[in-house]
Structure 1
């Protein structure tokens, strides 16, 4: 069964709705270099991470410019995993994994020349539609067939993101066969505010999608 991550949580009421919907993970966006309505202060991210119940994974989504900053943020927020966007190369990602008390997810573009190196360095790959600044959350889909090739090529878990909604997530799962799917704007009623019914439908449709042999 494909796992689900709901990203860009800004309120405890949305956190509760995501947990009630049965999502496997939720993302908290802090200390990023792009303009997004889903960014929250590091202190708020820490408070929300502390409110995540057992068996649900909290993920800090961030864009540090150094390994040291990444480790510092993980120590302050105390998430189960950290999702790294931006400038850190594969060696830096591996260093974060060695030093930070959290699993490491590397956000990549499916066409990135270093994608194999990132797969070796990280605990998981998040394949997203990346903007010019290296940030995800664009709300745009990308070439699912290319991501499906990454799933087939690597043993590292692949998380599919970019332009997913309750309306297309089943097709995405059936096409790519990812370890997990990730959504932010596709389940919102307003910028940074989750539509609880859309969250529920997204989780249900992702988990019930039929993946062929």
Structure 2
């Protein structure tokens, strides 16, 4: 069964809707050096993390200055996992050694991923010049399929996914999971609750067929 990560949640009612939709993971953005309507301050992120029910993985999504800063921030927020953008494989190693939380390495689909062995998961995204995801742009799902086949580490497919294309993405790449943020919004940082439900439904139904 393909797991669904619903990311960039900023409000309690959106979190509730994501959980009701069947999300396996929920993501909260804080500590990023770019402008985004999805960013929360650490206290607001921690408040939402506290509301995540058992059985759903809470994920801090961040771009810290260093592995130590990332480890400190995830402890402060209290999330189950930390997803970092813009880190080298060596920095992922350092972060994994500095925290007991799961570590997700968000990388561009075109990168060499052979060195990211310390990551608990790879988030295969379309990134901008800062190494940040959330661009809303898709990438080569056939390339993603090769990555999934080559790596022992679970791969979450991200980048431009929507309720309309997620079934095709799952069918093509056969990832461990899919990750969506802007593709299920009615406005920046505000989720479309029907889109959340349709996204999870189509991702999981297609994985059962596959």
TM-score (normalizing by structure 1) = 0.96
d(CA) in 1 for partners of 2:167, 2:121: 21
| CA apart distance, 1:212 | 7.0
Question: How far is 1:61 from its partner?
Answer: 0.1
- Hey, what's the Cα distance between the residues in 1 that align with 2:34 and 2:4? 24
Which residue pairs with 1:12 in the alignment? 12
Q: Secondary structure at the match of 2:90?
A: helix
Counterpart Cα distance in 2 of 1:91 and 1:48: 31
Pair 1:32-2:32 in alignment: yes
User: 1:34, CA displacement in angstroms?
Assistant: 1.4
Runs of 4+ in 1 over 2 A off after TM superposition: 210-213
Distance in structure 2 (CA, Å) of the matches to 1:89 and 1:185? 25
Q: Is it true that 1:93 corresponds to 2:66 in the alignment?
A: no
Structure 2: gaps of 5 or more residues = none
The aligned residue for residue 44 of structure 2 is 44
Point out where structure 1 has 5 or more consecutive residues left out of the alignment: none
Question: Which residue of the partner structure matches residue 111 of structure 1?
Answer: 110
What CA RMSD, in Å, does the superposition of the two structures yield over aligned residues?
A: 1.1
Work out the number of aligned pairs and report it: 210
* Aligned counterparts, 1:17-166, within 5 A: 17-86=17-86, 88-113=87-112, 115-118=113-116, 120-166=117-163
Check the 8 A contact 1:28/1:45 in 2, yes or no: yes
**Residue 197 (structure 1) aligns with:** 194
- Give the Cα separation in 2 of the matches to 1:157 and 1:169: 18
On the 8 A contact 1:74/1:101 being kept in 2, the answer is: no
CA contact (8 A) 1:108 1:128 kept: yes
Distance in 2, matches of 1:201 and 1:165, equals: 9
Taking a change above 3 Å as real, the CA distance of residues 203 and 212 of structure 1, as seen in their structure-2 partners, is closer
CA contact (8 A) 2:2 2:207 kept: no
How far the C-alpha of 1:210 sits from its partner, in A, is 4.4
Contact 2:10 2:189 in 1 (8 A): yes
Deviations 1:140-172 (A, max 9, x none): 000111111000001100000000000000000
Query: Distance between the aligned counterparts of 1:52 and 1:95, measured in 2?
Result: 27
Residue 211 of structure 1 and its aligned partner are, at CA, apart by: 6.3
What does the per-residue CA deviation read over 1:76-111, in whole Å, with 9 as the maximum and x for residues that have no partner? 00111100002x221221121122131000001121
